[in-house]
Chains A and B, each alone.
Chain A
Amino acid sequence: AQSVSQHNHHVILSEAASLELGCNYSYGGTVNLFWYVQYPGQHLQLLLKYFSGDPLVKGIKGFEAEFIKSKFSFNLRKPSVQWSDTAEYFCAVVNQAGTALIFGKGTTLSVSS
């Protein structure tokens, strides 16, 4: 079965620092990948997604992610974080059957001002 690994459980940064959150998936075929964010007390919101084409995907709020097939990775990046980026970040992949998203365990990002 597919799985998603997020290496960083909790990341603490100061404002203006650069961010990179790791995500690796297990499935070796055609993949569809997502990053979602969950702000405190809120529901999941889509940051960006990759289906095909340019492996560098740009999303909302200045986030981007790079799909590297050879590394089975889809890391999330942001050049300069803000206090308002404090949230939980979840990487997800469409399962092999194409019937659901499989999520990683999430990374908590804390940004201090």
Chain B
Amino acid sequence: GEEVAQTPKHLVRGEGQKAKLYCAPIKGHSYVFWYQQVLKNEFKFLISFQNENVFDETGMPKERFSAKCLPNSPCSLEIQATKLEDSAVYFCASSRARVKSSGNTIYFGEGSWLTVV
């Protein structure tokens, strides 16, 4: 069935270590989104891609966070020098078309739980 696949499900990092999360969008989906959910609160938008191009990165912290979507590879979200406040569930989502397309649905993955200790 259709599924956005995120790995790893859980990741524990010491402060200052690097964390890298992966997302395989549903086949045929051109748009990928990353969200951060801290303590089961609101979903904070980080970045979106249209294929391998950054579509909107207004939510990305300027420092330490980076993301890529390369052809024939899972998309990735990388956090350099993690801090305690980065502890959160990171959700990836994908869609076939732009979010404003009426027939379009955005599908979410199960999330990657990052714990920084």
**Which residues of chain A have a CB within 8 Å of any CB of chain B?**
32, 36, 42-46, 49, 51-52, 88, 90, 92, 94-95, 97-106
Once the chains are docked, how many angstroms separate the CA of A94 from the CA of B55? 14
Docked Cα-Cα span, A51 to B105, in Å, equals: 12
Contact of B41 with A98 in the complex, beta carbons under 8 Å? no
Which of B4, B102, B105, B106 has its CB near the most chain A CB atoms (within 10 A)?
B106
Decide: A98 near B98, CB < 8 A? Known: A43-B111, A44-B91, A46-B105. yes
Q: Which stretch, B17-25, B42-50, B73-81, touches the partner chain A?
A: B42-50
Interface residues of B (CB under 8 A from A): 4, 33, 35, 40-43, 45, 48, 55-56, 59, 91, 93, 98-100, 102, 105-106, 108-111
Known contacts A103-B42, A106-B42, A52 near B102 by CB under 8 Å: yes
CB contacts (< 8 Å) of A101 on chain B: these are 33, 43, 45, 99, 106
Q: Which residues of A contact B42 (CB under 8 A)?
A: 90, 103-106
A and B contact pairs by CB, cutoff 8 A, 6 listed: A44-B93, A52-B102, A99-B56, A99-B98, A100-B59, A105-B42
